[in-house]
Chain A
């Protein structure tokens, strides 16, 4: 049990896909303009990541090294489409909001990276826990960013009014430029603290 917890925890902080690995940032900037979008992205992302990791782990002995990447991509794309179809059938309103960004999941470096670096070499159960850990690590960061952007850009969090109606929201926060700026501050903070820690060591 302890081993599994360690795998999950690894995804949440020590190798958090966004904070430490700092990859697959397209989706981070794109969907964090409201908490709602971030949440749906999280669902799609977790679904695709966990199932892809399982399948790839299952097939790891058969997949030839030469064409592993095309196979990974096909597997990931398949699950992405399934996620799309499911969300469209059962959560239509949210699907409408982020349908342009769903394909970002397909080419998300995090998923391909984890498929290669973890599930291509580890057992199915381990892969499931790695997927869970990575999903949690991914989701808490994008939801946090989305909360900040939505509060200042719209005065609400997940649709609930936080600031009084008299607050005039800074529209820029939910527009593209602020996505970059907030990510910049976040990345700066991370690299800064990591550097500090290294120096201390």
Chain B
């Protein structure tokens, strides 16, 4: 009995100390991490929707055309009070972990830009998706994400057809294209609804 008590006590105390230490460290680093995330998000927003605009968080549930792609967040883009676009944060299943994307959409029905926020794709293959030195069209220096700029919502977004795939990374290419496609559909419905209601 004595032994059981001793083990309980020691393991409990060690656990408690560990929990306390971690909570303390998290208290210090937590704000830094969230500040960092916010900064990344802000930079991402202005990257997918270049120009001097205001971004505003949007709380709305969207109807999705795809069962595996999810919309985590949405931001409306405002210029002088008027809505000119929508940026969507999309999660699409990648080859190992989900890929988090920011997709900027314009009111005129085109994609303004795409950025990968988080991904765990294979270095040298899938990771080339966010590599700014990797061109899918070498002559025009167009990156994989760059090719989405200006694409219409109504496009098919199928790699090897209207989307140039990354060599040896079909899964990644499909995942990104799929995410953009869903975002496009959502944005299309959103703008239509806005117009309908005035």
Interface residues of B (CB under 8 A from A): 3, 6-7, 10-11, 14-15, 18, 21-22, 25-26, 29, 32-33, 36, 40, 96-97, 118, 120, 122-125, 168
Contacts and interface: CB of A to CB of B under 8 A. Distances in A.
Given A169-B124, A171-B125, A67 B32 contact: no
A82 B25 contact: yes
Interface in A29-81: 33-34, 37, 62-64, 66-67, 70-71, 74-75, 77-78, 81
Contacts of A67: 7, 10-11
A33 to B, nearest CB: 5
Q: Is the interface of A mostly helix, strand, loop or mixed?
A: helix
15 contacts: A33-B123, A64-B6, A66-B7, A67-B7, A71-B11, A71-B14, A74-B14, A75-B18, A78-B21, A86-B29, A89-B33, A92-B40, A96-B118, A100-B97, A174-B124
Given A75-B18, A92-B36, A174 B123 contact: yes
Given A86-B29, A96-B118, A62 B36 contact: no
A85 B25 contact: yes
A57 B189 CA distance: 63
Contacts of A75: 14, 18
A99 interface: yes
Contacts of B40: 92
